[in-house]
Amino acid sequence: MGLCLTLTYVAHGRHLCPIAGHYHSKAEFHEGTKALSSTWASPLKLEVQNIICDGRQAAVELKAVDTKCKNGLPFTNVYTWICVFNEQNKIVKIRAYMDT
C-alpha cells in the first residue's frame, strides 16, 4: 500500500483555508501545502482515529498530535480523508476534509 505518484488530492475547507484546492500529484500537493506546513515548529504527526473500508474506498479519521506551531501553540486539527485505491492497492485519490 502507498501513494500513486499521479495521486489526485482535493482539500476541502472554508474559503480562507490556504491549502484548499485540487492537486494532481503528490509533488503538487506538497508544494501547495507549504503555506500551512511552514507554520509548524515540528513535523506534522497524524494519528489514525478510525478507518471504515468498503471495497476500494476507505474513510479515515485523523488527528494531529504532538505538533506545535512556531508561536508555541499546539496544532490539534482533525481530518477526514476519503481514500480511493487502485488494483495495486495504491491510493489514487484523496478527498480531505479539515478542521479549518
Task: Give, as one character, the DSSP assignment of residue 71.
Answer: T
Residue 25, all three cell numbers: 500529484
Integer Cα distance of 55 and 85 in angstroms: 9
Q: What residue ranges do the domains of the chain occupy? A: 2-98
Q: What strand order describes the sheet that includes 46-54?
A: 21-23, 2-12, 90-98, 78-85, 57-64, 46-54
69-79 in b/e form (b: 16+ CB < 10 A) is eeeeeebeeeb
pLDDT tens-digit series, residues 7-48: 787 887 765 677 788 888 888 887 877 777 788 898 889 999
From the list 98, 48, 52, the residue with the least C-alpha distance to 75 is 98
CATH among 3.10.450.50, 3.30.499.10, 3.20.20.70, 2.60.40.10 for 2-98: 3.10.450.50
pLDDT tens-digit series, residues 23-33: 888 888 878 77
